[in-house]
């Protein structure tokens, strides 16, 4: 019972933020802009059955469907088709475990929706161990308005995923990305924020001029990005809940590649107005700047380590674009990457032990993982034109952009390289940035 | 006045036609500034050419020039200007040195390969390379400005060398 009470307390604040964001940011219908298919997931996946939840007739929402889709999309689970279910219990007392052992299930999820006294919808679910015939998890999710049922479904999937894999879930998260369409004077850009499964896309910014490099603040409340106005670039900060837009930096030349420090107080950007593209550390509150690199080479695409002490960046000071590491406090950069022709666009993993990069191997661009200590490199994707890797906040999955039949599209890969999926969408979809856990 | 309007319309038509034909090497369009004020009519040279002379070509103190070819192309990951690019530079250099009031914006681009922000820096390097060459050919600093679009505004769709070669470019815009 205490488990349920603790959950109520800890979940309520995290539901407020998406509710606010949904109200105040221009939102379209809850359609999936991204169509997802999984490749190479079945080996080693756990069998799980997610029985349809009992639902009052006036509520038309399939929580079990979203939970199942999340778990399957991770590549770590295979789901029993509903047609193969011999029963559809919604309470533990209704479960006959023989019916589930008979179809080879190890795990069973059941649940029910009900109207709460104040008019909201409450979801109750159980995760059951089929072979032991016992309950593993049981939760009463806090009551929500019906438009928040997708969020609750993702939270349920997160709880199940964490219990069965030992890793924190990542389904109740957001992604930002850029779409581009048309050529020449007809070109249009949009900056979009969507749920991690592609639903609920919301346009944050739209322009005939370039939009690029979206990056999340550590608290998930703001997006910084690069926009152009009258042929000049600038770095903007957009507050998601209010739509407030602040032009943060706009020097002559390049204003690019913004990235937040883990404590949210500083940003590193690339500016070229003094000599050539170099890294600058800016205190957001005071606007004070400290120049981090001063080299005639291109220094760009900075990324903070999770402890805030190290910056990884792309530099061609050695003759070709490679990834370097440098203490934020100052000091000589040390080259990290030596394999292939180029290595670019570093992104630290949440545990700080590895860095995702874009590796150019003989003209083939793929996503690779580099061990920070040893420099050992492991390719995660095939290319030939993969770029923009971004870690999910649990560190288990990386989203990136690739070229499919329709043009640029998003894809994800598990960090062990085993499970890859495509997220298809009309038009070019690029520069994904995975948002943090909401606080 | 009327003649200038006709010339503006003609040049605008040429420019828009350049947009439509994606494979056209001479499509020197003005992709970034959707709200630009349009094509400048300042074309009076130092030797006193009348207001009615065409902007697309002319004769200055340094010799005749043609401004029709506005694009300079580059090899992969390179910023050196080849002989075809140098011809473009020479023409615009003569135009700028004989037209002190003229201003150009050099828009640098890269093909889609490699990371987006590195390609912004590469595009800027290319535009600066063209600016240097123009100054050697007679332009002054105040006549030139530089912007980079990296891989964000390709001239040619496609994911092969034929498309990439058309996207590694600097476009000269007025």
pLDDT at A115 over 70: yes
Closest among A390, A379, A383, A374 to A430, alpha carbons compared = A390
Query: Residue A17, class by beta-carbon neighbours within 10 Å (0-12 exposed, 13-18 middle, 19+ buried)?
Result: middle
pLDDT in tens, B112-132: 999 999 999 999 999 999 999
pLDDT at res. A439: 63
Residue B18's pLDDT band (boundaries 50, 70, 90)?
A: very low
Mutate to test the interface with B, among A177, A178, A185 (most CBs of B within 10 A): A185
pLDDT at res. A269: 98
Chain A closest CA to B83's CA: distance in Å?
A: 24
Q: In what order do the strands lie in the sheet with A310-315?
A: A299-304, A310-315, A322-327, A334-335
- CB–CB of A210 and B152 under 8 A? yes
pLDDT at res. A4: 42
Once rounded to an integer, what is the mean pLDDT over residues B3-21?
A: 43
* Across A126-130, A157-161, A418-422, least confident range: A418-422
Q: Name the closest residue on chain B to residue A189, using Cα atoms.
A: B152
Under the phi-then-psi rule, with left for phi > 0, alpha for psi from -120 to 50, and beta for the rest, what region is A362?
left
pLDDT at res. A73: 87
* Percent over 90 (pLDDT), chain A: 81
pLDDT in tens, B39-64: 333 333 333 333 333 457 888 777 88
pLDDT at A29 over 60: no
- As a whole number of angstroms, the distance between CA B55 and CA B42 comes to 8
* Across A298-307, A424-433, B114-123, least confident range: A424-433
pLDDT at res. B64: 87
Token pair 């799980």 in the structure block, residue: A48
Closest among A249, A19, A300 to A146, alpha carbons compared = A19
Once rounded to an integer, what is the mean pLDDT over residues A298-324?
A: 97
Structural domains in chain A, sorted by start: 32-165 (3.40.50.10070), 174-434 (2.120.10.30)
pLDDT at res. A42: 57
On whether the CB atoms of residues A140 and A122 are closer than 8 A, the answer is: yes
On whether the CB atoms of residues A356 and A367 are closer than 8 A, the answer is: yes
pLDDT in tens, A53-66: 999 999 999 999 99
For CA atoms A84, A88, A92, A97, give the dihedral sign: negative
Residue B24's pLDDT band (boundaries 50, 70, 90)?
A: very low
Once rounded to an integer, what is the mean pLDDT over residues A361-389?
A: 96
Once rounded to an integer, what is the mean pLDDT over residues A348-374?
A: 97
Using alpha carbons, list the distances in angstroms from residue A276 to A190, A219, A269.
Answer: 29, 32, 13
Which of A351 and B48 is assigned the larger pLDDT? A351
A315: number of Cβ within 10 Å: 25
* Domain residue limits, chain B: 2-34+58-173
User: How much is the pTM?
Assistant: 0.83
pLDDT at res. B35: 32
pLDDT at A374 over 90: yes
pLDDT at res. A12: 45
Q: What stretch of H or E contains A6?
A: helix A2-24
pLDDT in tens, A164-184: 999 999 999 999 999 999 998
- CB–CB of A185 and B16 under 8 A? yes
3-state DSSP call for residue B130?
helix
pLDDT at res. A36: 58
* Percent over 70 (pLDDT), chain A: 90
Mean predicted lDDT score pLDDT of chain A: 90
Tell me the two tokens of residue B135. 């100054």
Q: E strands within A143-229?
A: 174-181, 188-195, 202-207, 211-216, 222-229
Using CB atoms, pick whichever of A189, A231, A300 lies closest to residue B121. Answer: A300
Q: In what order do the strands lie in the sheet with A77-79?
A: A77-79, A46-50, A107-115, A121-129, A134-140
- CB–CB of B114 and A231 under 8 A? no
Mutate to test the interface with A, among B13, B110, B116 (most CBs of A within 10 A): B116
Helices marked H in chain B — which ranges?
2-20, 83-98, 116-136, 161-167
Q: What stretch of H or E contains A319?
A: none
Chain A closest CA to B79's CA: distance in Å?
A: 13
pLDDT at A318 over 80: yes
Using alpha carbons, list the distances in angstroms from residue B160 to A123, A384, A400, A411.
Answer: 51, 11, 20, 21
Mutate to test the interface with B, among A181, A210, A407 (most CBs of B within 10 A): A210
pLDDT at B133 over 70: yes
- CB–CB of B113 and A257 under 8 A? no
- CB–CB of B117 and A314 under 8 A? yes
CATH classification number, B2-34+58-173, choose in 3.40.50.850, 3.30.1330.60, 1.20.1730.10, 3.40.50.300: 3.30.1330.60
Q: Name the closest residue on chain B to residue A319, using Cα atoms.
A: B77
Using alpha carbons, list the distances in angstroms from residue A153 to A83, A204, B71.
Answer: 21, 25, 54
pLDDT in tens, B102-113: 999 999 999 999
pLDDT in tens, B142-165: 999 999 999 999 999 999 999 999
pLDDT in tens, B54-98: 457 888 777 888 999 999 999 998 999 999 999 999 999 999 999
pLDDT at A7 over 80: no
Give chain B positions within 8 Å (CB) of A313.
none
């Amino acid at each position: 019972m205490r488990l349920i009470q603790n959950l109520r307390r800890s979940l309520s604040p995290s539901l407020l933020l998406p509710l606010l964001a949904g109200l105040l940011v221009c939102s379209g219908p809850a359609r999936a802009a991204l169509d997802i298919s999984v490749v190479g997931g079945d080996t080693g996946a756990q069998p799980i059955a997610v029985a349809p939840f009992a639902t009052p007739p006036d509520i038309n929402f399939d929580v079990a469907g979203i939970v199942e889709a999340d778990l399957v999309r991770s590549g770590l689970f295979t789901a029993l088709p509903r047609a193969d279910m011999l029963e559809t219990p919604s309470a533990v007392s209704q479960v006959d475990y023989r019916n589930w052992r008979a179809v080879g299930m190890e795990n069973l999820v059941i649940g029910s929706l009900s109207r709460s006294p104040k008019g909201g919808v409450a979801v109750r679910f159980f995760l059951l161990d089929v072979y032991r015939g016992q309950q593993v998890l049981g939760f009463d999710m806090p009551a929500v308005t019906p438009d928040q049922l997708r969020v609750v479904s993702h939270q349920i999937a997160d709880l199940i995923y964490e219990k069965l894999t030992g890793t924190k879930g990542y389904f109740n998260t957001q992604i930002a990305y850029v779409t581009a369409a048309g050529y020449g004077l007809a070109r249009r850009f949009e900056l979009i924020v969507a749920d991690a499964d592609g639903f609920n896309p919301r346009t944050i910014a739209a322009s005939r001029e370039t939009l690029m490099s979206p990056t999340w603040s550590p608290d998930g409340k703001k997006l910084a990005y690069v926009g152009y106005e009258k042929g000049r670039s600038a770095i903007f900060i957009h507050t998601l809940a209010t739509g407030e837009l602040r032009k943060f930096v706009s020097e002559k030349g390049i204003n690019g590649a913004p990235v937040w420090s883990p404590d949210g107080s500083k940003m590193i950007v690339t500016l070229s107005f003094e000599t050539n593209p170099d890294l600058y550390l800016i205190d957001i509150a005071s606007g004070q700047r400290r120049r981090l690199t001063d080299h005639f080479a291109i220094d760009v695409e900075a990324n903070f380590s999770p402890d805030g002490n190290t910056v990884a960046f792309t530099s061609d000071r050695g003759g070709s674009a490679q990834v370097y590491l440098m203490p934020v406090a100052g000091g000589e950069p040390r080259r990290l990457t030596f394999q292939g022709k180029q290595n670019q666009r570093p992104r630290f993993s949440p545990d700080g032990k590895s860095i995702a990069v874009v590796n150019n191997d003989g003209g083939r661009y793929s996503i690779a993982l580099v061990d920070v200590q040893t420099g050992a490199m492991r390719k995660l994707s095939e290319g030939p034109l993969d770029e923009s890797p971004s870690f999910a906040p649990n560190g288990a999955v990386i989203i990136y952009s690739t070229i499919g039949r329709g043009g640029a599209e998003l894809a994800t890969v598990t960090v062990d390289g085993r499970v890859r999926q495509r997220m298809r969408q009309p038009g070019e979809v690029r520069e994904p940035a995975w948002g943090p856990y909401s606080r | 006045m009327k003649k200038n309007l006709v010339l503006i319309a003609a040049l605008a038509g040429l420019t828009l036609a350049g947009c439509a034909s994606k494979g056209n090497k001479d499509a020197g369009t003005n992709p970034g500034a959707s709200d630009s004020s349009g094509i400048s009519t300042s074309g009076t040279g130092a030797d006193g050419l009348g207001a009615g002379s065409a902007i697309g070509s002319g004769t200055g103190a340094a010799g005749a020039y043609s401004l029709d070819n506005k694009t300079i192309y580059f090899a992969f990951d390179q910023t050196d200007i080849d002989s075809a690019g140098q011809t473009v530079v020479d023409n615009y250099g003569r135009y700028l040195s004989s037209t002190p009031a003229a201003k150009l914006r050099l828009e640098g681009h890269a093909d889609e390969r490699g990371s987006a922000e590195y390609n912004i820096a590469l595009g800027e390097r290319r535009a600066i390379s063209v600016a240097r060459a123009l100054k050697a050919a007679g332009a002054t600093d105040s006549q030139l400005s530089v912007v980079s679009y990296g891989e964000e505004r390709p001239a040619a769709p496609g994911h092969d060398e034929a498309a990439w070669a058309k996207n590694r470019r600097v476009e000269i815009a007025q």
